[in-house]
Structure 1
């Protein structure tokens, strides 16, 4: 019995070793190469990022909060790195733990070229994060006027209602983004719409002491 068990263990070890030798380099080295990929994205190091990909790093590897290298590139406004990652198959729809997608990250930062790149590769305009915000709300709230314009051109209804019946105009007004308010009005935003509290964009601007946005809305 003892000899049989010994032979069984020895055989199992040999099989395990043989199986491991047959695994592709990517499967064996994922942990370290993935860390290198994520570090390269964080450090804005294109050369190291390419090297990690060539060594078999998973292009959609995630850090502790679920950010991929692509999300990091979008947060940092690195168009070249974002393009490289997409060309290597990065998922443009991947969301981090808080639900932030590459498109949301780029919209928040006002990185219009990256937004265009993501949209060209199928990024979803209407995905929401964990609190119900879309890329448009990120852009409008931050006053990223060029991005707001691009999202409208891509098919977002200027009077679309978001969570709590807020519109992009209300988001821009509440954060005193006067230039974005002007653009939205020019593109057909309806200032008479009300949120679920019965407040218009101007009411919100007054409440938040957003003087410039209030002035634009009063003039309009």
Structure 2
């Protein structure tokens, strides 16, 4: 290993350590010095994965603003949204969805974010995912049996209310769309 490779490896480890500790300023300093944003550990978990795993919204936002790969897959096929959901962070999950994360991404076991939310009992995250359109059924129309994986009463209530949650969300989007297209273009009261 050359001196340059050793230096890059040290910087990569330092970046991941700063992210794990939640030190946004140090992570920014390392990125500014040329440390690759997609630096990863032996499990192929990137800085963004570690920020999401820790539920650190400030760190996740900074990394996304600097171009971190939102669909980076580490061992197990887990993406940043998988980790945000597993950690129970509604705020980080919402951020990732706002930035275009794949709501239906599956890990190597075929688990989606909604399945992880149900299994971990994160009712607030499950409701967020449902509001954003997460499917209870797989692409073949088969029930993913999300409820069978959930042993948390609050989460079960959310899952059993999925149709109402998603219906409300669709109506809200339709109302926003209608409002937007029905507004006259240009400034009001023009001269």
Mapping 1:133-172, distance limit 5 Å? 133-157=111-135, 159-161=136-138, 166-172=144-150
Q: CA RMSD in A?
A: 2.2
Offset, 1:188: 3.0
What is the distance in 2 between the residues matched to 1:112 and 1:182?
Answer: 18
Task: Decide which structure has the larger Cα Rg and report it.
Answer: 1
- In the alignment, which of 182, 199, 208 is matched to residue 157 of structure 2? 182
Q: Matched residue pairs, number?
A: 160
Q: Which runs of 5+ in 2 are unaligned?
A: 165-191
Indicate if the aligned counterparts of 1:161 and 1:167 stay in contact, CA closer than 8 A.
Answer: no
User: How does 1:87-106 map onto structure 2 within 5 Å?
Assistant: 87-106=65-84
Q: 1:187: Cα distance to partner?
A: 2.4
Please give the residue correspondences for 1:25-36 in structure 2 after superposition, counting only pairs within 5 Å: 30-36=8-14
5+ long unaligned stretches in structure 1: 1-25, 190-220
Q: Cα gap change, 1:188/1:134 in structure 2, threshold over 3 Å: closer, same or farther?
A: same
Higher relative contact order (CA 8 A, sep 6+): 2
Report the TM-score when normalising by structure 2. 0.77
Corresponding residue number in structure 2 for 1:122: 100
Match of 2:186 in 1: none
Please give the per-residue CA displacement for 1:121-177, whole angstroms capped at 9, x wherever unaligned: 1100111111111111110111111111111111113x31489953222221xxx21
Is the 8 Å Cα contact of residues 136 and 151 (structure 1) preserved in structure 2?
yes
Cα offset for 1:29? Answer: 5.1
Deviation at 1:101, TM superposition (A): 0.7
Distance in 2 between residues matched to 1:152 and 1:66, nearest whole Å? 29
**Alpha-carbon distance in structure 2 between the residues aligned to 1:65 and 1:128:** 17
TM-superposed CA distance for 1:30, in Å, is 3.0
Distance between the aligned counterparts of 2:6 and 2:138, measured in 1? 48
Aligned equivalents of 1:60, 1:112: Cα separation in 2: 24
1:71 is displaced (CA, Å) by 0.6
Matched with 1:78 is 56
